[in-house]
């Protein structure tokens, strides 16, 4: 069931399109903001609202890097692994995260604090290596800076 | 020299919002409409200015617009879409513009909409650009409050509405027909062309998809004229270009410069040369879907009409530098892994071919490859060439591979003869142990 707030936000989202399903991505991201990820139940709620089938909506949900069809931690760290960051040592950034928090790409820490995912070029190439934690992008992330950076995300 | 796109952009990351934008001459192009400039006049001006699309293809914008049905019998509504997907690795120019000067995009879209009598606009923004989204939303709200959006423009009956669509991260959404599917809330695979979006696009209506940087140019052309715009450039293509450099150079960054600036000037004068202790080997001129350029190409003007076909094309104009401490095979492997991961999976050569290419390159890096594997890589550059796949993703993926096989052949061969990557310390150790 959609909460009142969720319902109101989806009503707002569909105003931008001549056809309800145009708001599919907005709806998925809105519900994900409230619930953390898109469970099968959430998928059904949204599909019902958009008047499309859940399977149809799932073919969209599973297409995108930023729609989570599995639970994630309280925070998500996205490590850019595209070329400019690779040249500047994104592999070392990833290894440092693994050493500090005992978590590999695609995994969540045991305490549920952090999920680490690879991400395509974040468009901050002039300040490589870059990473994004939740909605915040950081450039020139050398391995020694990571623990201080992560302090903000408990 | 005039740098119309960025001369007012703050270098401390602050944004210019409405008051400051208007003070600097923003929304002045709308006054031309009051003075009687008709849509066809705007179209003609953009054509005469020699504006070419900044999304990577360099298609002449005026020519693209000429396919849009005009007049009272034309279908309604028509749409104008700003392509702000910017997921091409190494590319960050549109972000600089949208974060620094969000109203410039709003004004560009209003004027493009007016020129095409397209009354609804969408900004298609990649999901990771949260700061751009926040500033664009603010700019759109300000433009509505000031009456630039949602009300007839003074002196005309034309009224424009603008929406922001934040995507959820997938490279193929930047391809214009996939983008249209994405906006309609469908799985974002490309569509067959024809029909072209100019006649049958978003929700079946005439639609123009234009790169963000392209749209920023339009108000300046309207304010200052085609001759002025052509004089900004050093070559036959009009205007300035947002260039950028990443990789191991002293000062990576972005610069708005006359079209036709050379890679050598960018590298040596603007980026301060190579970083301490590394030497130049090659560069990709504009994102990773372009072919390598090497030392002998550094003095070519970087624009859309001067590249000899055997050298390649400019792409997005934001270049990535390959230095001598970085393995060219590892570099290309990184690119092909990206393409394999981001392939939409719609057509077989791309869906199956790209992972195979990535596997072959991994085998080279790990010392498992033979010379037959090099021939297989060569063959893929033909199997995934333009015309063999449904869209431009796979042919784009072959441009750096094919040129790397040409310019860095010896490095590929060394991976076979020495049984691993000469640049990787780890595999050297493994070799000693083995
Ligand atoms: C795989 C692929 C990805 C693309 N990504 C983008 C993009 O992120 N931004 C963009 O403006 N154009 C992108 N394009 C080009 C668009 O299809 C289209 O040509 C462009 O937006 C037209 O704008 P322009 O004429 O102003 O250059 C991409 C093309 C392909 C094949
Ligand atoms: S070339 Fe690749 S990205 Fe393009 S339609 Fe085919 S599978 Fe999709």
B181 part of a folded domain:
yes
Give residue B425's pLDDT: 62
Same domain, B219 and B251: no
Give chain A's length: 154
Same domain, B165 and B89: yes
Instruction: Please indicate whether, in this complex, the C-beta atoms of A121 and B87 are within 8 angstroms of each other.
Output: yes
Q: Is residue B353 lining ligand 2, measured as CB closer than 6 Å?
A: no
Return the residue in B76, B180, B185, B207 with the most chain A beta carbons within 10 A, the one to mutate for interface testing. Answer: B185
The DSSP code for B240 is E
Residues B21 and B400: their CA atoms lie apart, in Å, by: 40
The pick from B346, B357, B392, B399 for probing ligand 2's pocket by mutation, whose C-beta has the most ligand atoms within 8 angstroms, reads B346
Same domain, B134 and B220: yes
Same domain, B203 and B271: no
Q: Which CATH number fits the domain that encloses residue B25? A: 3.40.50.11540
Sorting pLDDT into bands at 50, 70 and 90, what band is A53? very high
Residue A121's CB: how many other CB atoms inside 10 A? 28
Tell me what the pLDDT averaged over chain A comes to. 97
Sorting pLDDT into bands at 50, 70 and 90, what band is B429? very low
Q: Which residues contact A131 (CB under 8 A, 6 or more apart)?
A: A77, A78, A79, A80, A93, A122, A137, A138, A141
The residue segments making up the domain with residue B63 are 18-231
Residue closest to B85 by CA, chosen among B53, B41, B129: B129
User: What total number of domains does chain B contain?
Assistant: 3
B9 part of a folded domain:
no
Among the three residues B323, B352, B387, which one is the final residue of a domain in this structure?
Answer: B323
Which ligand has its closest atom nearest to the C-alpha of B124? 1
Same domain, B270 and B345: no
Instruction: Please indicate whether, in this complex, the C-beta atoms of B335 and A26 are within 8 angstroms of each other.
Output: no
Question: Does position B430 have pLDDT exceeding 70, yes or no?
Answer: no
Place of tokens 């009409």: B305
Q: What is the DSSP string of A67-109?
A: --SS---SEEEEEE-SHHHHHTTHHHHHHHHHHHH---TT-B-
Residues A10 and A59: their CA atoms lie apart, in Å, by: 20
**The three-state (H, E, C) secondary structure of B371-384, written as one string:** HHHHHHHHHHHHHC
Give residue B1's pLDDT: 77
Give residue A95's pLDDT: 96
Give residue B433's pLDDT: 45
Compute and round to an integer the Cα radius of gyration of chain B: 23
Q: What is the pLDDT of residues B135-187, one digit of tens each?
A: 999 999 999 999 999 999 999 999 999 999 999 999 999 999 999 999 999 99
Which sequence spans correspond to the domains of chain A? 4-63, 75-150
Residue B63's CB: how many other CB atoms inside 10 A? 12
Same domain, B184 and B256: no
Which is it for strands B318-323 and B280-284: parallel, antiparallel or unpaired?
Answer: antiparallel
Same domain, B82 and B206: yes
Residues A120 and B92: their CA atoms lie apart, in Å, by: 13
Give me the sign of the Cα torsion angle A55, A60, A63, A69. Answer: negative
CATH 3.30.420.10 fits A75-150, yes or no: no
The pick from B344, B358, B392 for probing ligand 2's pocket by mutation, whose C-beta has the most ligand atoms within 8 angstroms, reads B344
Alpha helices in chain A (DSSP H): 4-14, 24-35, 40-50, 54-61, 83-87, 90-101, 146-150
Residue closest to B374 by CA, chosen among B399, B400, B402, B393: B402
Same domain, B338 and B227: no
Residues B195 and B239: their CA atoms lie apart, in Å, by: 31
Q: What is the pLDDT of residues B110-124, one digit of tens each?
A: 999 999 999 999 999
This model of the complex carries an ipTM of 0.97
Q: Is residue B89 lining ligand 1, measured as CB closer than 6 Å?
A: no
Cβ contacts (< 8 Å) between B166 and chain A: which residues? Answer: 25-26, 29
Q: What is the pLDDT of residues B308-317, one digit of tens each?
A: 999 999 999 9
- For residue B306, give Cα distances in angstroms to B58, B213, B258, B311, B314: 12, 20, 14, 10, 9
Question: Does position B210 have pLDDT exceeding 70, yes or no?
Answer: yes
CA of B102 to the centre of ligand 2 (A): 32
Give residue B432's pLDDT: 44
B4 part of a folded domain:
no
Average pLDDT over residues B61-86: 97
Tokens standing for residue B162: 């603008």
- Helix, strand or coil, per DSSP, at residue B163: strand
Same domain, B339 and B196: no
Same domain, B245 and B227: no
Give residue B424's pLDDT: 87
- Helix, strand or coil, per DSSP, at residue B178: helix
Same domain, B169 and B304: no
Q: What is the pTM of this model?
A: 0.97
Q: What is the pLDDT of residues A63-115, one digit of tens each?
A: 999 999 999 999 999 999 999 999 999 999 999 999 999 999 999 999 999 99
Among the three residues B231, B248, B265, which one is the final residue of a domain in this structure?
Answer: B231
Residues A71 and B69: their CA atoms lie apart, in Å, by: 48
Average pLDDT over residues B379-383: 98
Instruction: Compute CA A5 distance to the chain's CA centroid, rounded to the nearest angstrom.
Output: 21
The DSSP code for B258 is E
Q: What is the pLDDT of residues B220-265, one digit of tens each?
A: 999 999 999 999 999 999 999 999 999 999 999 999 999 999 999 9
Same domain, B100 and B119: yes
Q: What is the pLDDT of residues B278-317, one digit of tens each?
A: 999 999 999 999 999 999 999 999 999 999 999 999 999 9
B6 part of a folded domain:
no
Residue closest to B423 by CA, chosen among B276, B310, B324, B306: B324
Q: Which CATH number fits the domain that encloses residue B303? A: 3.10.20.600
**Integer distance in angstroms from the first to the last C-alpha of chain A?**
30
Residues B391 and B404: their CA atoms lie apart, in Å, by: 22
Q: What is the pLDDT of residues B17-50, one digit of tens each?
A: 999 999 999 999 999 998 999 999 999 999 999 9
Among the three residues B272, B293, B323, which one is the final residue of a domain in this structure?
Answer: B323
Q: Which CATH number fits the domain that encloses residue B337? A: 1.20.1440.230
Q: What is the DSSP string of B260-307?
A: T-BHHHIIIIIS-SBPTT--EEEEESSSTTS--B-GGGTTSB-SSSSS
Ranges assigned E (strand) in B299-415: 318-323
Q: Which residues contact B241 (CB under 8 A, 6 or more apart)?
A: B54, B256, B257, B258, B259, B261, B302, B303, B317
B3 part of a folded domain:
no
CATH topology for A4-63 is Arc Repressor Mutant, subunit A (1.10.10)
Give residue B426's pLDDT: 53
Average pLDDT over residues B333-358: 98
Buried b (16+ CB within 10 A) or exposed e, B386-422: eebbbbebbbbbbbbbbbbbebbeebbebbbeeebbe
Q: Is A62 on the interface with B (CB under 8 A)?
A: no
Which ligand has its closest atom nearest to the C-alpha of B64? 1
Return the residue in A87, A122, A134 with the most chain B beta carbons within 10 A, the one to mutate for interface testing. Answer: A87
Average pLDDT over residues B345-353: 97
Instruction: Please indicate whether, in this complex, the C-beta atoms of A65 and B326 are within 8 angstroms of each other.
Output: no
Sorting pLDDT into bands at 50, 70 and 90, what band is B323? very high
Give me the sign of the Cα torsion angle A67, B97, B208, A13. Answer: positive
Residues B337 and B358: their CA atoms lie apart, in Å, by: 6
Instruction: Please indicate whether, in this complex, the C-beta atoms of B90 and A25 are within 8 angstroms of each other.
Output: no
Q: What is the pLDDT of residues B357-376, one digit of tens each?
A: 999 999 999 999 999 999 99
């Amino acid at each position: 069931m959609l909460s009142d707030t969720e319902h109101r936000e989806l009503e707002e989202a569909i105003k931008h399109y001549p056809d309800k399903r145009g708001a599919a991505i907005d709806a998925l991201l809105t519900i994900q903001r409230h619930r953390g990820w898109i469970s099968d139940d959430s998928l059904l709620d949204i599909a019902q609202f958009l008047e499309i089938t859940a399977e149809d909506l799932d073919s969209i949900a599973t297409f995108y890097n930023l729609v989570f069809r599995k639970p994630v931690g309280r925070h998500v760290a996205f490590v850019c692994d595209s070329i400019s960051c690779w040249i500047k040592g994104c592999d070392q950034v990833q290894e440092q995260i693994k050493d500090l928090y005992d978590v590999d790409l695609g995994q969540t820490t045991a305490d549920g604090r952090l999920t680490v995912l690879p991400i395509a070029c974040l468009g901050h190439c002039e300040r490589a290596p870059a990473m994004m934690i939740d909605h915040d992008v950081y450039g020139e992330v050398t391995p020694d800076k990571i623990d201080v950076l992560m302090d903000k995300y408990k | 020299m005039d740098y119309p796109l960025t001369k007012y952009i703050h270098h401390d990351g602050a944004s210019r919002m409405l008051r400051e934008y208007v003070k600097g001459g923003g929304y002045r192009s709308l006054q031309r409409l009051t003075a009687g400039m008709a849509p066809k006049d705007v179209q003609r001006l953009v054509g005469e200015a020699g504006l070419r699309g900044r999304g990577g293809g360099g298609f002449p914008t005026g020519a693209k617009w000429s396919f849009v049905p005009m007049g009272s019998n034309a279908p309604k509504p028509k749409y104008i879409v700003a392509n702000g997907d910017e997921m091409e690795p190494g590319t960050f120019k549109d972000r600089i513009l949208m974060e620094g000067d969000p109203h410039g995009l709003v004004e560009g879209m209003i004027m493009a909409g007016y020129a095409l009598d397209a009354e609804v606009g969408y900004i298609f923004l990649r999901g990771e650009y949260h700061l751009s989204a926040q500033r664009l939303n603010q700019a759109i709200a300000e433009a509505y409050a000031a009456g630039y959006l949602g009300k007839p423009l003074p002196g005309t009956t034309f009224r424009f509405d603008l929406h922001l669509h934040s995507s959820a991260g997938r490279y193929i959404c930047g391809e214009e027909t996939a983008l249209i599917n994405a906006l309609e809330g469908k799985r974002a695979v490309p569509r067959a062309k024809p029909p072209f979006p100019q006649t049958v696009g978003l929700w079946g209506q005439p639609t123009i998809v234009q790169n963000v940087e392209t749209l920023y140019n339009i108000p300046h052309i309207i304010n200052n004229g085609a001759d002025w715009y052509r004089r900004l450039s050093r070559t036959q293509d009009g205007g300035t270009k947002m260039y950028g450099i990443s990789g191991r150079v002293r000062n990576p960054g972005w610069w708005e410069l006359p079209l036709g600036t050379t890679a050598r000037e960018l590298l040596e004068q603007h980026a301060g040369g190579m970083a301490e202790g590394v030497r130049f080997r090659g560069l990709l001129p504009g994102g990773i879907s372009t072919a390598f350029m090497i030392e002998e190409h550094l003095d070519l003007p970087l624009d859309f009409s001067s590249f000899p076909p055997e050298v390649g094309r400019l792409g997005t104009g934001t270049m990535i530098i390959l230095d001598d401490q970085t393995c060219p095979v590892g570099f290309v492997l990184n690119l092909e892994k990206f393409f394999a991961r981001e392939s939409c999976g719609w057509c077989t050569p791309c869906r199956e071919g790209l992972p195979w290419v990535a596997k072959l390159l991994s085998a080279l890096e790990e010392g498992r490859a033979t010379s037959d594997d090099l021939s297989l890589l060569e063959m893929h550059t033909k199997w995934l060439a333009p015309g063999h796949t449904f869209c431009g993703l796979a042919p784009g993926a072959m441009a750096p591979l094919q040129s790397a096989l040409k310019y860095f052949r010896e490095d590929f061969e060394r991976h076979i003869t020495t049984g691993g990557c000469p640049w990787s310390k780890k595999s050297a150790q493994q070799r000693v142990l083995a």
